[in-house]
Chains A and B, each alone.
Chain A
Amino acid sequence: MTAHPAPSRLSPAPGGEIDLTAVAVEYAGKKGNVRALKGVSLHIRPNEFLAIVGRSGSGKSTLLRVIGGLIPPSEGTAALGGEPIVRPPSSARFVAQDYTQSLLPWLTVEDNIRFGIRHAVRPDADPDGSVARMLDLVGLAHARSRYPGELSGGMQQRVAIARALASQPSVLLLDEAFSSVDALSRAKLQDMILGLWETLRFTAVLVTHDIDEAVYLADRVAVMQERGAGIAALVDVDLPHPRHQVETRERPDYLAYRRELAARVLTSDLEGAAA
């Protein structure tokens, strides 16, 4: 269900380039301060699809929250389009794993998307047209007047993505966004996000623990070291677009990328300890 509609009125704001320089994040924990990130540097190119993989506790979600301006870095700098990120940047939108809690349950699907338009990066001259278009793009035109509580998990996450993109961000941050839905919905969501990315052009940063998902979706995969020690590896994924759930996953180069990344993730604790 890859979407290939005509070029869009909903075009992203320019400048979806992200620079992280020696970013450290410290939490006040029960037993003193916890360093979730210990100096991470990463450059994310405009309009690329970057996946960040790593084990639990590698700090990959914390890193994404720093980019989203939801956590300020304790040390180092994070910048989007050259502007330092000190609060949620106007051109980035964050999509959480927890779709049941991130949608507005008192608003219909349509009104949730309208919420995104009302709080958009730039004012929208034709909000009604944009709502209809987003509903089409995520395949939810039939469910426009239903409430989130009446939808399946996959559908709710489609609403959350539509709402984020309706506000025309240049950067879309996806925090384990496909991890809480069943396998089939997940495959559909993956193809949908690729279709949206190819159509609307934005910088996509996806945090996932799933190496398969990272290789399938991304053009570049960053592997986090254990305990936020930094980026262990950056792997370019040179697979052709559009990608296909069956054919792409059978390609020898797909399998080679998968093998390489799995090995990197499995050894990331050793490298992290050495660093």
Chain B
Amino acid sequence: MSNTERALTLNRLGEVDGGHAAPKKPRKSLGVLGLFHSRLFGWSAVIALLVLWEWIASVAPSPGLPPPSRIWNSWMAEITKGDLLAQLGETMLAMLYGYAVAAVLGIALGIAMARVKVLYALFEPIVELWRPIPSIIFIPVIILYAGLGLEMNVIVIVIAATESVILNAYGGARSIPPALLDTAATFRLTWWQTLREIVLPAAAPQIFVGLRLALAKSLVLAVGSGMIAGNSGIGFYVINAQQTLDIAKMYAGAATVALTGYALNLLFLFIESRVVHWHAAQRGSAIV
């Protein structure tokens, strides 16, 4: 294995693990201790923080830290009367396009690199050079060529998100158990059949690791590109609120981004558990 190949392989996050399902731990009986071990405990901490925030904002008012109740009111007003949802829609549209392109391109390139040596040799240095560059650095260049429209945001997302999908698709397709490839050989599968019936499903759990990283990057860049370029979207909305000193509105926008990210992640985990169900069962519950 060459050093560069090792770098690629080592960088994949998550392993395709074969073998037996881990024995399930017996469920603990729910006592007082059970409550402290449950998710409910963590959520009550979130609520406690909000209460603490409300209290601090009332005893020591500061323009930079409005109480959550005022942010809530501003949020409701912005959702019903303001253009918060419209701006969020812009961001989501850019993210949808960018993420879809990154996913398809990343899976295709990653698997092609794993299965065709020439393509690995051709693309590996490019991917390695591209990987450590923070994607926001491309924004000024892209604005030069694509202007300030939706295309700019989409291109930035594609640049940022494709790389994690490539690396994980490559890693997944490279780490297929030899016995599984023997199966493909002894049943005389053609190159395409091997790809479709063996390589793609076997690599799927790790492809999903890449898709999840790409999802997070897509959101960051969808919001961030609007913020930096100031063209449109929820990022622009937040920075605009800050610059016009409508601080409650700024927090409302930030909270919207946080909730959107949380919801997207939940949706992703749901889809992942459906598509790679055999793997999810082995891995136990997913860690967010």
Contact = CB atoms under 8 A, between A and B. Distances in A.
Interface of A: 68-70, 87-88, 90, 92-94, 96, 98, 100-106, 115-116, 119, 147, 149-150, 164, 167
A90 B182 contact: no
A257 B182 CA distance: 34
A100 B187 contact: no
Contacts, number: 70
B18 A104 contact: no
Given A147-B281, A149-B278, A149-B282, A98 B187 contact: no
Nearest to A90: B188
A104 B201 contact: yes
Contacts of B186: 68-70, 88, 92-94, 164
B19 A104 contact: no
Contacts of B179: 96, 98, 101-102
Interface string B179-190: 110110111110
A164 B20 CA distance: 22
B278 to A, nearest CB: 5
A152 to B, nearest CB: 9
Interface of B: 18-21, 177-180, 182-183, 185-189, 193, 197-198, 201-202, 204, 276, 278-279, 281-282
A100 B18 contact: yes
Given A116-B187, A150-B21, A102 B281 contact: no
Nearest to B190: A119
A95 to B, nearest CB: 8
Contact of A70 (B20, B180, B182): B182
Q: Give the one of A100, A101, A116, A147 with max B CB within 10 A.
A: A101
A106 to B, nearest CB: 5
Contacts of B197: 104, 115
A88 B189 CA distance: 10
A104 B282 contact: no
A149 B177 CA distance: 15
A26 B201 CA distance: 33
B278 A69 contact: no
B188 A98 contact: no
Contacts of A167: 187
Nearest to B177: A101
A104 B198 contact: yes
Contacts of B279: 105-106
A104 B187 CA distance: 13
A226 B189 CA distance: 34
Contact of B183 (A92, A104, A106, A149): A104
B87 to A, nearest CB: 41
A149 B185 contact: no
B201 A106 contact: yes
Contacts of A87: 185, 188
